């Protein structure tokens, strides 16, 4: 099996790799026809530009996309060792990369082109790649709940995150854990990404006994009616965590 593009990671993603040229072209054309915005990342994700697919030319084996705003930005993209792309098609995450973009003019407008990728990652709705969140300085979910006649805000630490939902720890067991209950107006503060608004539905609950004898409650929550923009933000954060984890594993600081 061909190896994954380095920026996309290798762990737990092989079931989602697409190698069929016909299928890859179909996904690219789907992104084009639905006019989906795509994140274009360079320098290990430190710079992100928004683009869209203008054309997929299977005869010339080329993908043509909108250029970034500004000459300097496009020059950095062209000079980048690898450019990663992340898009959403029917709320399914599509990821691919290229190492040799070129600046061109397409239909009298500045554009970029690169070869049709040989592999892609397609994360299915019910098979979202899940990654553990940091133990130090944990991300917190802000969840408003009603207590008697007032509303209180709970801040609960995340255990992991995917594009489909999160797992949280409720040490004091303050959150109603009935399966199916929905919590609206929740927020996640994702480092370097920002605050995102989500609706959570409890899908499972597990009481844990820790080594010190104390108990904790782990709740698995699904995102409900999430917009494409929020989903894209969460995917960018997941990719950021993956890049950081890979850097630690390979010894890159």
Q: Where are the domains of the chain?
A: 6-123, 131-250
pLDDT value for 146: 83
Tens of pLDDT along 46-78? Answer: 677 888 999 999 999 999 999 988 888 899 999
> pLDDT value at position 210?
61
Task: Please tell me whether the overall predicted TM-score, pTM, comes out greater than 0.85 for this model.
Answer: no
CB atoms within 10 A of CB 69: 11
Q: Is 95 exposed, middle or buried (0-12, 13-18, 19+ CB in 10 A)?
A: buried
- In angstroms, the Cα distances linking 58 to 116, 193, 198, 227 are 8, 35, 39, 31
The matching CATH number, chosen from 1.10.357.10, 3.30.70.580, 1.10.287.4070, 2.30.110.10, for 6-123 is 2.30.110.10
| CATH, domain 131-250, list 2.40.10.220, 3.30.1330.10, 2.40.30.10, 2.130.10.10 | 2.40.10.220
Contacts of 39 (CB under 8 A, 6+ apart): 48, 49, 50, 85, 86, 87, 232, 236
Instruction: Judge whether 6-123 and 131-250 match in fold.
Output: no
State residue 253's pLDDT score: 45
Residues ≥6 apart with Cβ < 8 Å to 160: 130, 131, 132, 133, 166, 167
Pair of tokens at residue 118? 């040989």
Q: Which residues of the chain have pLDDT under 50?
A: 1-13, 126, 252-253
| Burial bucket for residue 155 (CB in 10 Å: 0-12, 13-18, 19+) | exposed
Q: What does the pLDDT read at residue 147?
A: 77
pLDDT of residue 85: 92
Backbone φ and ψ for 232, nearest 5 degrees, come out as -65, -40
Quick one: pLDDT at residue 211? 55
| CA dihedral for 237, 240, 246, 249, sign (positive or negative) | negative
Exposed e or buried b per residue across 105-135, where buried means at least 16 C-beta atoms within 10 angstroms of its C-beta: eeeeeebbbbebbebbbbbeeeebbbbebee
């Amino acid at each position: 099996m061909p190896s994954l593009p380095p920026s996309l990671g290798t762990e737990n993603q092989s079931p989602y790799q697409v190698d069929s040229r016909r299928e890859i072209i179909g996904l690219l054309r789907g992104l084009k026809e639905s006019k989906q915005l795509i994140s274009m990342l360079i320098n290990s994700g430190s710079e992100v530009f928004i683009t869209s697919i203008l054309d997929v030319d299977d005869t010339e084996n080329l993908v043509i996309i909108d250029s970034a705003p500004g000459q300097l930005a496009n020059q950095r993209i062209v000079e980048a060792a690898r450019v990663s792309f992340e898009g959403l098609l029917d709320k399914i995450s599509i990821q691919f990369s290229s190492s040799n973009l070129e600046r061109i003019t397409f239909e009298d407008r500045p554009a970029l082109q690169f070869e049709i990728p040989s592999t892609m990652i397609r994360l299915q709705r019910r098979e979202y790649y899940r990654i553990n969140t940091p133990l130090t300085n944990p991300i917190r979910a802000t969840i408003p709940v009603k207590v008697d006649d007032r509303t209180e805000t709970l801040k609960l630490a995340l255990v992991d995150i995917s594009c489909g939902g999160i797992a949280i720890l409720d040490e004091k067991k303050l959150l109603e854990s009935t399966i199916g209950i929905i919590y609206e107006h929740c927020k996640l503060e994702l480092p370097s990404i920002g605050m995102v608004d989500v609706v959570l539905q409890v899908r499972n609950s597990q009481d844990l006994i820790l080594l010190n004898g104390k108990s904790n409650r782990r709740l698995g929550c699904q995102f409900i009616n999430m917009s494409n923009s929020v989903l894209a933000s969460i995917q960018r954060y997941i990719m950021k965590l993956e890049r950081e984890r890979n850097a630690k594993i390979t010894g890159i600081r």
